[in-house]
Amino acid sequence: QIAFPHRGYGKKSGRSKKWREMLKLPPVSQCSELRHSIEKDYSSLCDKQPIGRLLFREFCDTQHDLKGCIEFLDAVLVNYDITNCYAFGLCCTKKPAAPLPEIPSRVLRECRLRLKQSPGKDVFEECTRIVHNYLSGEPFEEYQESPCFSRFLQWKWLERQPVTKNTFRHYRVLGKGGFGEVCACQVRATGKMYACKKLEKKRIKRRKGEAMALNEKRILEKVNSRFVVSIWV
Protein backbone atom coordinates (compact mmCIF):
# COMPACT_ATOMS: atom_id res chain seq x y z
CA GLN A 1 0.00 0.00 0.00
CA ILE A 2 1.04 3.59 -0.62
CA ALA A 3 0.40 6.10 2.14
CA PHE A 4 -0.18 9.76 1.32
CA PRO A 5 0.13 12.60 3.86
CA HIS A 6 -3.16 13.94 5.13
CA ARG A 7 -3.76 17.50 3.91
CA GLY A 8 -7.32 18.08 5.00
CA TYR A 9 -10.29 18.58 2.72
CA GLY A 10 -9.36 21.89 1.08
CA LYS A 11 -9.17 22.64 -2.62
CA LYS A 12 -5.57 21.46 -2.78
CA SER A 13 -6.32 17.95 -1.49
CA GLY A 14 -6.66 14.94 -3.77
CA ARG A 15 -5.67 14.92 -7.41
CA SER A 16 -4.06 18.01 -8.85
CA LYS A 17 -5.82 20.24 -11.35
CA LYS A 18 -3.28 19.23 -13.98
CA TRP A 19 -4.07 15.55 -13.44
CA ARG A 20 -7.80 16.21 -13.77
CA GLU A 21 -7.16 17.91 -17.10
CA MET A 22 -5.23 14.85 -18.31
CA LEU A 23 -8.15 12.60 -17.39
CA LYS A 24 -10.67 14.74 -19.26
CA LEU A 25 -12.44 12.57 -21.85
CA PRO A 26 -12.73 13.91 -25.42
CA PRO A 27 -16.09 14.67 -27.08
CA VAL A 28 -17.82 11.64 -28.60
CA SER A 29 -17.60 13.26 -32.04
CA GLN A 30 -13.82 13.20 -31.76
CA CYS A 31 -13.91 9.38 -31.53
CA SER A 32 -15.86 8.79 -34.76
CA GLU A 33 -12.78 7.54 -36.63
CA LEU A 34 -11.96 5.15 -33.80
CA ARG A 35 -15.51 3.80 -33.91
CA HIS A 36 -14.96 2.59 -37.48
CA SER A 37 -11.34 1.47 -37.13
CA ILE A 38 -11.49 -0.47 -33.87
CA GLU A 39 -11.76 -4.25 -34.18
CA LYS A 40 -15.30 -5.39 -33.39
CA ASP A 41 -14.34 -8.47 -31.40
CA TYR A 42 -16.67 -9.39 -28.52
CA SER A 43 -14.08 -11.34 -26.53
CA SER A 44 -11.55 -8.50 -26.64
CA LEU A 45 -13.89 -5.53 -26.16
CA CYS A 46 -16.34 -7.00 -23.64
CA ASP A 47 -14.42 -9.63 -21.70
CA LYS A 48 -10.64 -9.21 -21.78
CA GLN A 49 -10.34 -5.40 -21.51
CA PRO A 50 -11.21 -4.21 -17.97
CA ILE A 51 -12.87 -0.92 -19.00
CA GLY A 52 -14.78 -2.55 -21.85
CA ARG A 53 -15.86 -5.38 -19.56
CA LEU A 54 -17.30 -2.95 -17.00
CA LEU A 55 -19.10 -0.81 -19.59
CA PHE A 56 -20.60 -3.84 -21.36
CA ARG A 57 -21.93 -5.08 -18.03
CA GLU A 58 -23.31 -1.63 -17.32
CA PHE A 59 -25.17 -1.85 -20.64
CA CYS A 60 -26.49 -5.35 -19.83
CA ASP A 61 -27.78 -4.14 -16.45
CA THR A 62 -30.31 -1.96 -18.31
CA GLN A 63 -32.01 -5.02 -19.88
CA HIS A 64 -33.56 -7.76 -17.77
CA ASP A 65 -32.68 -10.73 -19.99
CA LEU A 66 -29.06 -9.61 -20.45
CA LYS A 67 -28.71 -8.86 -16.76
CA GLY A 68 -29.56 -12.50 -16.03
CA CYS A 69 -26.76 -13.64 -18.35
CA ILE A 70 -24.21 -11.45 -16.57
CA GLU A 71 -25.38 -12.66 -13.16
CA PHE A 72 -24.95 -16.23 -14.35
CA LEU A 73 -21.39 -15.58 -15.59
CA ASP A 74 -20.51 -13.89 -12.29
CA ALA A 75 -21.95 -16.76 -10.29
CA VAL A 76 -20.00 -19.37 -12.23
CA LEU A 77 -16.73 -17.58 -13.08
CA VAL A 78 -16.24 -14.86 -10.47
CA ASN A 79 -18.07 -15.78 -7.28
CA TYR A 80 -18.50 -19.51 -7.78
CA ASP A 81 -20.64 -21.03 -5.08
CA ILE A 82 -22.77 -24.14 -5.32
CA THR A 83 -25.72 -22.16 -3.92
CA ASN A 84 -25.53 -19.68 -6.81
CA CYS A 85 -26.18 -22.48 -9.30
CA TYR A 86 -29.63 -23.25 -7.89
CA ALA A 87 -30.85 -19.75 -8.79
CA PHE A 88 -30.39 -20.48 -12.49
CA GLY A 89 -32.09 -23.85 -12.52
CA LEU A 90 -28.86 -25.69 -13.26
CA CYS A 91 -29.47 -28.14 -10.42
CA CYS A 92 -32.94 -28.73 -9.11
CA THR A 93 -32.37 -30.93 -6.10
CA LYS A 94 -33.76 -28.26 -3.73
CA LYS A 95 -35.63 -25.36 -5.34
CA PRO A 96 -36.17 -25.55 -9.10
CA ALA A 97 -35.83 -22.22 -10.87
CA ALA A 98 -36.36 -21.10 -14.45
CA PRO A 99 -33.14 -21.66 -16.40
CA LEU A 100 -31.65 -19.15 -18.82
CA PRO A 101 -33.57 -19.43 -22.12
CA GLU A 102 -30.32 -19.38 -24.12
CA ILE A 103 -29.15 -22.71 -22.67
CA PRO A 104 -30.78 -25.83 -24.27
CA SER A 105 -32.53 -28.26 -21.95
CA ARG A 106 -30.15 -31.05 -23.05
CA VAL A 107 -27.17 -29.09 -21.76
CA LEU A 108 -28.98 -28.36 -18.51
CA ARG A 109 -29.67 -32.05 -17.94
CA GLU A 110 -26.00 -32.86 -18.51
CA CYS A 111 -25.02 -30.10 -16.07
CA ARG A 112 -27.32 -31.44 -13.37
CA LEU A 113 -25.91 -34.93 -13.81
CA ARG A 114 -22.25 -33.82 -13.72
CA LEU A 115 -22.97 -31.50 -10.79
CA LYS A 116 -24.16 -34.44 -8.69
CA GLN A 117 -21.12 -36.53 -9.66
CA SER A 118 -18.27 -33.98 -9.41
CA PRO A 119 -19.21 -30.35 -8.55
CA GLY A 120 -16.87 -27.68 -9.90
CA LYS A 121 -16.51 -24.76 -12.29
CA ASP A 122 -15.71 -27.01 -15.23
CA VAL A 123 -19.26 -28.41 -15.05
CA PHE A 124 -20.56 -25.14 -16.51
CA GLU A 125 -18.05 -24.72 -19.35
CA GLU A 126 -20.62 -25.57 -22.03
CA CYS A 127 -23.25 -23.30 -20.46
CA THR A 128 -20.74 -20.46 -20.22
CA ARG A 129 -19.74 -20.88 -23.88
CA ILE A 130 -23.41 -20.78 -24.96
CA VAL A 131 -24.11 -17.61 -22.95
CA HIS A 132 -21.03 -15.87 -24.38
CA ASN A 133 -22.07 -16.88 -27.91
CA TYR A 134 -25.51 -15.39 -27.27
CA LEU A 135 -24.08 -12.13 -25.91
CA SER A 136 -21.68 -11.83 -28.86
CA GLY A 137 -24.61 -11.72 -31.29
CA GLU A 138 -27.46 -9.23 -31.24
CA PRO A 139 -26.71 -7.89 -27.69
CA PHE A 140 -23.16 -7.02 -28.78
CA GLU A 141 -24.51 -5.18 -31.85
CA GLU A 142 -26.94 -3.22 -29.67
CA TYR A 143 -24.13 -2.40 -27.26
CA GLN A 144 -22.14 -0.79 -30.11
CA GLU A 145 -24.99 1.67 -30.63
CA SER A 146 -25.33 2.53 -26.93
CA PRO A 147 -23.86 5.41 -24.89
CA CYS A 148 -21.80 2.83 -22.97
CA PHE A 149 -19.85 1.96 -26.12
CA SER A 150 -19.34 5.65 -26.86
CA ARG A 151 -17.84 6.04 -23.39
CA PHE A 152 -15.58 3.05 -24.11
CA LEU A 153 -14.34 4.76 -27.29
CA GLN A 154 -13.58 7.90 -25.29
CA TRP A 155 -11.40 5.87 -22.91
CA LYS A 156 -9.67 4.11 -25.81
CA TRP A 157 -8.92 7.45 -27.46
CA LEU A 158 -7.38 8.71 -24.23
CA GLU A 159 -5.43 5.47 -23.83
CA ARG A 160 -3.94 5.76 -27.33
CA GLN A 161 -2.43 9.20 -26.87
CA PRO A 162 1.39 9.46 -27.19
CA VAL A 163 3.29 8.33 -24.11
CA THR A 164 5.26 11.07 -22.33
CA LYS A 165 6.71 11.53 -18.86
CA ASN A 166 3.39 13.08 -17.83
CA THR A 167 1.48 9.93 -18.80
CA PHE A 168 2.48 8.26 -15.53
CA ARG A 169 2.18 9.08 -11.86
CA HIS A 170 5.31 7.84 -10.11
CA TYR A 171 5.33 6.16 -6.72
CA ARG A 172 7.97 4.55 -4.51
CA VAL A 173 11.27 3.05 -5.62
CA LEU A 174 11.16 -0.74 -6.02
CA GLY A 175 14.88 -1.33 -6.54
CA LYS A 176 18.20 0.27 -7.49
CA GLY A 177 21.01 -0.81 -9.80
CA GLY A 178 24.34 0.36 -11.08
CA PHE A 179 22.93 2.82 -13.61
CA GLY A 180 19.53 3.81 -12.22
CA GLU A 181 16.44 2.66 -10.37
CA VAL A 182 13.05 1.00 -10.86
CA CYS A 183 9.92 2.59 -9.43
CA ALA A 184 6.22 1.80 -9.41
CA CYS A 185 4.10 4.01 -11.64
CA GLN A 186 0.47 4.32 -12.66
CA VAL A 187 -1.04 5.39 -15.98
CA ARG A 188 -3.11 8.47 -15.20
CA ALA A 189 -5.75 7.70 -17.85
CA THR A 190 -6.46 4.02 -17.09
CA GLY A 191 -5.10 3.40 -13.58
CA LYS A 192 -2.94 0.46 -14.75
CA MET A 193 0.23 -0.16 -12.72
CA TYR A 194 3.67 -0.66 -14.28
CA ALA A 195 7.32 -0.85 -13.23
CA CYS A 196 9.30 2.07 -14.68
CA LYS A 197 13.05 1.82 -15.09
CA LYS A 198 15.01 5.07 -15.00
CA LEU A 199 18.61 5.27 -16.25
CA GLU A 200 20.99 8.16 -15.56
CA LYS A 201 22.92 8.96 -18.73
CA LYS A 202 25.72 10.68 -16.80
CA ARG A 203 26.31 7.61 -14.65
CA ILE A 204 26.24 5.32 -17.70
CA LYS A 205 28.81 7.43 -19.54
CA ARG A 206 31.00 7.79 -16.47
CA ARG A 207 31.14 4.00 -16.06
CA LYS A 208 31.28 3.35 -19.84
CA GLY A 209 28.20 1.18 -19.71
CA GLU A 210 26.53 2.23 -22.98
CA ALA A 211 26.93 -1.21 -24.59
CA MET A 212 25.63 -2.99 -21.49
CA ALA A 213 22.56 -0.73 -21.29
CA LEU A 214 21.73 -1.25 -24.99
CA ASN A 215 22.16 -5.02 -24.71
CA GLU A 216 19.83 -5.11 -21.72
CA LYS A 217 17.25 -3.08 -23.66
CA ARG A 218 17.37 -5.44 -26.66
CA ILE A 219 17.09 -8.53 -24.46
CA LEU A 220 14.12 -7.22 -22.46
CA GLU A 221 12.33 -6.26 -25.68
CA LYS A 222 12.53 -9.84 -26.99
CA VAL A 223 12.19 -11.90 -23.81
CA ASN A 224 8.88 -13.68 -23.17
CA SER A 225 8.90 -15.29 -19.75
CA ARG A 226 6.57 -15.32 -16.76
CA PHE A 227 9.60 -14.72 -14.52
CA VAL A 228 11.03 -11.69 -16.39
CA VAL A 229 9.31 -8.31 -16.90
CA SER A 230 9.34 -7.35 -20.57
CA ILE A 231 10.21 -3.80 -21.57
CA TRP A 232 8.02 -1.37 -23.50
CA VAL A 233 9.78 1.47 -25.30
pLDDT in the model for residue 168 = 85
Residue stretches of the annotated binding site: 197
Residue stretches of the annotated binding site for ATP: 197
Please give the average per-residue pLDDT across 77-89, as a whole number.
Answer: 53
pLDDT in the model for residue 152 = 93
pLDDT in the model for residue 109 = 79
CA torsion sign for 3, 8, 11, 12 is negative
What is the rounded average pLDDT for all residues in the chain?
78
pLDDT in the model for residue 90 = 47
> What would the pLDDT profile of 129-170 be if each residue is shown by its tens digit?
888 999 999 999 999 999 999 999 998 888 888 878 778 888
CATH architecture designation of domain 162-232: 2-Layer Sandwich (3.30)
Extents of the domains making up the chain: 31-159, 162-232
pLDDT in the model for residue 121 = 64
pLDDT in the model for residue 198 = 85
The band of 15, judged by pLDDT with boundaries at 50, 70 and 90, is: low
CATH number, span 31-159: 1.10.167.10
* E strand spans, the chain: 168-176, 180-187, 193-199
CA distance 148 to 143: 7
The band of 85, judged by pLDDT with boundaries at 50, 70 and 90, is: low
Please give the average per-residue pLDDT across 68-91, as a whole number.
Answer: 63
- Contact in structure between 169 and 186 (CB atoms under 8 Å): yes
Please give the average per-residue pLDDT across 14-42, as a whole number.
Answer: 78
* pTM greater than 0.85 (yes/no): no
Answer with the residue of higher pLDDT: 95 or 172: 172
Please give the average per-residue pLDDT across 172-177, as a whole number.
Answer: 89
Cβ-Cβ contacts under 8 Å for 14 (sequence gap 6 or more): none
The band of 227, judged by pLDDT with boundaries at 50, 70 and 90, is: confident
Closest CA to 41 of 141, 190, 130: 141
Q: Beta strand pairing status for 168-176 and 180-187? A: antiparallel
